């Protein structure tokens, strides 16, 4: 049997319903699809439908939009945990909206970890042959050095190693660690964290590095590494956007089920105009289907 992949439309005010409709109108092969969202936004799709909310043709308030996103994500997690679907793809959501609706999580990654029973998670970003895993996610830059602890590095490395083995089927994953400071601190001239924290951990757990950001991503794109651990959000996001702008995919590691998402937001300014690029959503759905096939075949 083909694996079953669930897709949520996300915030009804944004481009999620449009790009989901485009992708599921001509979906990637190898999977059966289930779509979750408000009735009037999914009614025309020729796949199994799970209705969350009825008519939302009017513009919902921020709180109502956040509530609808929350109900979609909760239903998706429930169906994945129960084994009804083999993977989920979440449409874009506005963090402020679902927090206003009472879902007090920094983002989908942490939220899904809570729904899965409080498991720890890591965020992987995929673009073409580049896989990047964030050691810290949505925090202020001033808080990064203190947050890149040995425990956080080990957690991200373990999640990455397990996913590359279990989901991608790699026997001996090659993982690199991106430095925190320019030129790996240059002997302490630009910071001591790389020598005092990152290097000892990398040696202990068997990952390469730390290597400067202007080197490690080039090596990964060349095929020297299967994934790169990065100390903070923007250095990882920038690498992924440059490697495949408009086609990047977010993958949540550490969950007991596969979850992917497009690497863009709700784009409220262009929603409803019919001009949204569905490339990243298509890649997210295709990767979910591919990983589900590898893990159910």
Q: Where are the beta strands (DSSP E) in the chain?
A: 4-8, 32-37, 48-51, 87-89, 122-127, 130-134, 175-178, 208-211, 227-230, 249-253, 258-262
Length of the chain: 297
Residue pair 155/122 in contact by the 8 Å Cβ criterion: yes
Distance, CA of 195 to CA of 65 (rounded, Å): 46
Q: For the sheet with 32-37, list strands across it.
A: 48-51, 32-37, 4-8, 87-89, 258-262, 249-253, 122-127, 130-134, 227-230, 175-178, 208-211
Per-residue pLDDT of the chain (297 residues; tens, 9 = 90+): 799 999 999 999 999 999 999 999 999 988 999 999 999 899 889 899 999 876 665 667 889 989 999 999 999 999 999 999 999 999 999 989 989 999 888 788 888 999 999 999 999 999 988 999 999 988 899 999 999 999 999 999 999 999 999 999 999 999 999 999 999 988 888 889 999 999 999 999 999 989 999 999 999 999 999 999 999 999 998 898 888 777 789 999 999 999 999 988 888 888 888 888 898 999 999 999 999 998 875
Secondary structure class of 169 (helix, strand, coil): coil
Residue 223's pLDDT is: 94
Distance, CA of 17 to CA of 38 (rounded, Å): 9
Residue 85's pLDDT is: 97
Nearest in space to 132 (alpha carbons), one of 143, 123, 141, 140: 123
């Amino acid at each position: 049997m083909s694996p079953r992949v669930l897709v949520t439309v996300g915030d009804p005010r944004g481009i999620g319903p449009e790009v989901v409709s485009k992708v599921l109108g001509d979906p990637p092969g190898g999977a059966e699809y289930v779509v979750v969202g408000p009735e009037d936004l999914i009614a025309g799709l020729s796949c199994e439908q799970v209705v969350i909310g009825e008519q939302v043709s009017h513009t919902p308030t921020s709180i109502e939009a956040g509530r609808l996103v929350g109900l979609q994500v909760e239903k998706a997690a429930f169906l994945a945990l129960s084994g009804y679907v083999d993977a989920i793809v979440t449409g874009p959501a506005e963090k402020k909206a679902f927090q206003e609706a009472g879902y007090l999580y920094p983002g989908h990654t942490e939220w899904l970890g809570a729904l899965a029973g409080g498991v720890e998670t890591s965020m992987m970003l995929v673009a073409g042959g580049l896989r990047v895993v964030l050691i810290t996610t949505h925090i202020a830059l001033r808080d990064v050095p203190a947050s890149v602890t040995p425990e956080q590095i080990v957690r991200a490395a373990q999640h990455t190693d397990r996913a590359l083995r279990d989901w991608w089927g790699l026997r001996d994953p090659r993982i690199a660690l991106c430095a925190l400071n320019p030129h790996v601190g240059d002997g302490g001239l630009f910071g001591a964290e790389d020598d005092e924290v990152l290097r000892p951990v990398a040696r202990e757990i068997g990952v390469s590095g730390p290597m400067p950001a202007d080197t490690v991503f080039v090596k990964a794109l060349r095929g020297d590494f299967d994934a790169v651990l990065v100390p903070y959000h923007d250095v990882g996001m920038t690498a992924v956007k440059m490697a495949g702008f408009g086609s990047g995919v977010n993958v949540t590691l550490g969950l007991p089920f596969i979850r992917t998402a497009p690497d863009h937001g709700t784009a409220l300014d262009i929603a409803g105009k019919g001009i949204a690029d569905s490339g990243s959503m298509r890649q997210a759905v295709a990767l979910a289907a591919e990983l589900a096939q590898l893990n159910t075949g």
